[in-house]
Amino acid sequence: MRDREAWDLKRSLAFWNLFLAVFSFAGAVRTVPQLVGALMEYGFAYTVCRRAVFYYGNGPAGFWVCLFIFSKYLELIDTVFLVMRKRKVRFLHWYHHFSVLLYCWHAYTWEMPTGLYFAAMNYTVHAVMYFYYFLSGRPAHGSTSWDGGAYDFQ
């Protein structure tokens, strides 16, 4: 890859970012209300001390948490885009993807009650972040003063 030119993947990357933004928004729509509802009905202790199966392991929220876990593999494609475009892969980027993937499988295996917190938060942040990446990758959009802010927000 070192001796090759960078690939021009602007259009593919824009569609990829839009797909992840829409997917993340749909996941947030399904997980955030479940979390807020459990907090309001049962309280904080219930949402962090009970096994996941009791309050989000089944139904639509459980399905979207399952999709969330599998999506961590898909998000590794972000790294492929960076490498193919000859962009620097920052420590925060690969550490985030690696640690989130490990945490998701650990939380799934042990039915961690805090998994819904993590999924709802990550879905929400990624909906905003990937939509921003989609918009910033469009040719009509100029650079802004907060271009690096998506990593900080995450």
Question: Does 118 or 52 have the greater pLDDT score?
Answer: 118
Q: Per-residue pLDDT averaged across 129-150, rounded? A: 68
Question: Does 100 or 79 have the greater pLDDT score?
Answer: 100
Residues 99-126: pLDDT tens digits?
Answer: 999 999 898 888 888 999 999 999 999 9
For the chain, which residues make up each domain, given as ranges? 10-138
Banded model confidence at residue 68, pLDDT cuts 50, 70, 90: very high
Tokens for 105?
A: 């499988």
Question: CB–CB of 31/61 below 8 Å?
Answer: yes
Query: What pTM does this model have?
Result: 0.81
The pLDDT of residue 33 is above 80:
yes
Rounded distance, CA 38 to CA 117, Å? Answer: 11
Give the pLDDT score at 139.
61
**Which listed residue (93, 96, 106, 126) is catalytic?**
96
Percentage of the chain surpassing pLDDT 70? 82
Tokens for 72?
A: 């961590």
Indicate if 126 belongs to the active site.
no
Rounded distance, CA 32 to CA 60, Å? Answer: 12
